[in-house]
């Protein structure tokens, strides 16, 4: 096979970059152009990809030996196109971020979606992994009695079954990532859809309020309100309130861990191994906190490359803090926006899971990315849970950066990894259910 000369390859890549840069300006019927571009690049021969990587000054195989040429090209494209941002630009960034995240997703998970963007109508699509998935957006109350959107997914195979007789009566409550400042129910639609299709579980994705307009602890309050709503309404989704699993990626992973802590412990206690100034929940006159003791405990949690310790540098910060999907400047910006005008001070158990009471938290499945600035704090948090005797499984996906769930349909190897991760977490949950069932029978 003949390979185009370098000048032609560079011209082609320049055209690709211009197409990617203008994705946000495309009409709805072209909204997934980025998916096709990034996926198509992966079909090119490795020598061609390496030519592109050389042109972009992408990471080399010597730097990241576990990352293939396609993944390193995606990282290089992101680094070249990613503009510097300021706190004052975060609100404007949200629409661009949401557009790009949808543009990367497979069109198949959006088929037959109503063209009207009011998100009030039920949608469905083709069968994936044997399950047809439908979804519907609902409006529930946030922690301050305002409106909050949630997106509810159901698999056809479980939607009509009695929750008490259904082996798949699990419901996943998902919190999206985005540094507490960007993201919504659309940005992680593909992942939530995949979980529902593979497991037949119901899935509920939460559009909690964002910083800087709504600083900490608004996000965790909204997430707790969503948990309370789901505990009351799980049966309407063919699920049981005793089988809620918490999931989130990045900042959403941190929020999932915080919800697990707060529901497991009706009040926050100061951590015995951290000199942290932690206020009791009674200091916050918030009804949802006062009702925590009446909520069912979560069955398990899946944390995907989570934020667990805001404000602490780990070795992975130095190793992977520049030139990847998330760098230290991004983190500093997001954290500044999240904590600006907050009533909480660092370190605090309503900000970082590392400082909360983890002694009674639910079984946890923690997934870290090898090439991630947050890798080490995820692993340290997993070790902390293990030291408390919590049932923990940890998995590191090699050769991938922060935010890898958004690349699951454009990178073949990562697509297989995500399918495997969802399957393994489903097995993890079934084992927990089996253990609880056996314990109940013995009693």
Tens digit of each residue's pLDDT (9 = 90 or more) over 171-197: 999 999 999 999 999 999 999 999 999
> Residue 282: which CATH number?
3.40.50.1820
124 burial via Cβ count (<10 Å: 0-12, 13-18, 19+): middle
Asked if residue 207 and residue 298 are part of one domain, the reply reads yes
pLDDT tens across 144-153, in order?
999 999 999 9
Would residue 104 count as lying in a domain? no
The residue written with tokens 């909360």 in the block is 356
Would residue 312 count as lying in a domain? yes
Asked if residue 394 and residue 261 are part of one domain, the reply reads yes
| Structural domain harbouring 163 | 114-442
Sheet holding 123-128, edge to edge: 123-128, 131-141, 147-155, 202-206, 171-175, 244-249, 300-304, 364-371, 392-401
**Boundary residue ending a domain (81, 106, 141):** 81
Would residue 89 count as lying in a domain? no
State the Cα–Cα distance between residues 173 and 175, nearest whole angstrom: 7
Asked if residue 71 and residue 133 are part of one domain, the reply reads no
Asked if residue 388 and residue 254 are part of one domain, the reply reads yes
State the Cα–Cα distance between residues 322 and 297, nearest whole angstrom: 39
Is a pLDDT exceeding 70 seen at residue 296?
Answer: yes
State the Cα–Cα distance between residues 241 and 228, nearest whole angstrom: 10
If you write DSSP's letter for every residue of 287-301 in order, what string do you get? HHHHTGGGSPPPSEE
Asked if residue 44 and residue 159 are part of one domain, the reply reads no
pLDDT tens across 316-345, in order?
999 999 999 999 999 999 999 999 999 888
pLDDT tens across 52-73, in order?
999 999 999 999 999 999 999 9
Mean pLDDT over 86-102 rounds to: 91
Is a pLDDT exceeding 50 seen at residue 113?
Answer: no
The model scores a pTM over 0.85: yes
**For 81, phi and psi rounded to 5 degrees?**
-95, -15
CA pseudo-torsion sign 354, 356, 359, 364:
negative
Region of 280 (left: φ > 0; alpha: ψ -120 to 50; beta: rest) is beta
Catalytic residue among 372, 376, 406, 411: 372
Is a pLDDT exceeding 50 seen at residue 118?
Answer: no
Catalytic residue among 106, 158, 205, 250: 250
Would residue 205 count as lying in a domain? yes
State the Cα–Cα distance between residues 431 and 338, nearest whole angstrom: 37
Note the pLDDT of residue 2: 47
If you write DSSP's letter for every residue of 197-266 in order, what string do you get? HHH--EEEEE----TTTS-TTHHHHHHHHHHHHHHHHGGGGT--TT-EEEEEETHHHHHHHHHHHHHHSS
Asked if residue 43 and residue 121 are part of one domain, the reply reads no
Q: State yes or no: is 250 an active-site residue.
A: yes
Asked if residue 380 and residue 253 are part of one domain, the reply reads yes
Note the pLDDT of residue 10: 65
Catalytic residue among 32, 335, 402, 411: 402
Structure tokens at 431: 């084992």
DSSP for residue 110: G
State the Cα–Cα distance between residues 324 and 221, nearest whole angstrom: 31
Would residue 190 count as lying in a domain? yes
Would residue 98 count as lying in a domain? no
Asked if residue 286 and residue 218 are part of one domain, the reply reads yes
**How many other C-beta atoms can be found within 10 angstroms of the C-beta atom of residue 441?**
7
DSSP lists the bridge partners of residue 177 as none
Would residue 19 count as lying in a domain? yes
**Boundary residue ending a domain (59, 81, 103):** 81
pLDDT averaged over the chain?
86
Asked if residue 337 and residue 275 are part of one domain, the reply reads yes
| Domain total in the chain | 2
Asked if residue 120 and residue 75 are part of one domain, the reply reads no
Q: State yes or no: is 108 an active-site residue.
A: no
pLDDT tens across 355-365, in order?
999 999 999 99
Mean pLDDT over 107-129 rounds to: 57
| CB neighbour list of residue 428: distance below 8 Å, 6 or more residues apart | 300, 363, 365, 393
Structure tokens at 100: 């790009």
Note the pLDDT of residue 275: 40
Asked if residue 302 and residue 178 are part of one domain, the reply reads yes
Would residue 1 count as lying in a domain? no
Q: State yes or no: is 214 an active-site residue.
A: no
State the Cα–Cα distance between residues 181 and 212, nearest whole angstrom: 7
Note the pLDDT of residue 343: 86
Asked if residue 77 and residue 130 are part of one domain, the reply reads no
């Amino acid at each position: 096979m003949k390979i185009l000369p370098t000048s032609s390859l560079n011209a082609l890549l320049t055209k690709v970059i211009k197409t990617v840069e203008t994705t946000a300006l495309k009409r709805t019927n072209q909204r997934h152009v980025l998916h096709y571009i990034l996926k198509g690049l992966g079909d090119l021969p490795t020598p061609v990809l390496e030519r592109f990587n050389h042109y972009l000054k992408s990471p080399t195989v010597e730097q990241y030996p576990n990352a293939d040429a396609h993944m390193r090209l995606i990282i290089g494209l992101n680094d070249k196109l990613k503009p510097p941002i300021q706190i004052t630009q975060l609100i404007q960034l949200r629409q661009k971020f949401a557009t790009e995240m949808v543009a990367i997703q497979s069109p198949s998970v959006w088929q037959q979606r109503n063209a009207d963007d009011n998100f009030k109508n039920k949608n469905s699509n083709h069968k994936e992994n044997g399950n047809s998935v439908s979804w519907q957006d609902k409006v529930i109350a946030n922690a301050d009695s305002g409106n909050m959107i949630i997106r509810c997914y159901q698999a056809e195979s479980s939607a009509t079954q009695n929750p008490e007789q259904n082996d798949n009566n699990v419901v996943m409550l998902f919190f999206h990532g985005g540094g507490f400042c960007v993201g919504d129910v659309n940005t992680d639609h593909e992942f939530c859809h995949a979980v529902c299709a593979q497991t037949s579980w119901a899935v509920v994705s939460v559009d909690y309020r964002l910083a800087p307009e709504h600083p900490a602890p608004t996000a965790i309050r909204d997430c707790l309100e969503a948990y309370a709503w789901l505990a009351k309404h799980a049966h309407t989704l063919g699920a049981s309130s005793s089988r809620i699993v918490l999931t989130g990626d990045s900042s959403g992973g941190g929020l999932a861990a915080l919800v697990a802590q707060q529901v497991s412990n009706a009040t926050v206690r100061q951590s015995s191994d951290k000199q942290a100034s932690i206020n009791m929940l009674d200091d916050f006159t918030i009804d949802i906190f006062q009702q925590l003791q009446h909520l069912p405990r979560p069955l398990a949690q899946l944390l995907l490359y989570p934020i667990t310790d805001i404000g602490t540098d780990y070795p992975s910060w130095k190793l992977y803090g520049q030139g990847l999907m998330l760098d230290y400047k991004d983190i500093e910006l997001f954290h500044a926006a999240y904590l600006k005008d907050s009533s909480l001070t660092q370190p605090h158990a309503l900000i970082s899971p590392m400082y909360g009471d983890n002694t009674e938290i639910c079984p946890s499945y923690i997934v870290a990315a090898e090439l991630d600035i947050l890798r080490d704090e995820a692993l340290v948090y997993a070790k902390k849970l293990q030291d408390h005797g919590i049932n923990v499984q940890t998995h590191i996906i090699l050769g991938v950066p922060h935010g890898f769930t958004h690349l699951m349909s454009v990178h073949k190897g990562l697509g297989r990894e995500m399918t495997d991760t969802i399957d393994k977490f489903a097995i993890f949950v079934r084992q927990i259910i089996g253990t609880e069932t056996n314990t109940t029978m013995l009693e």
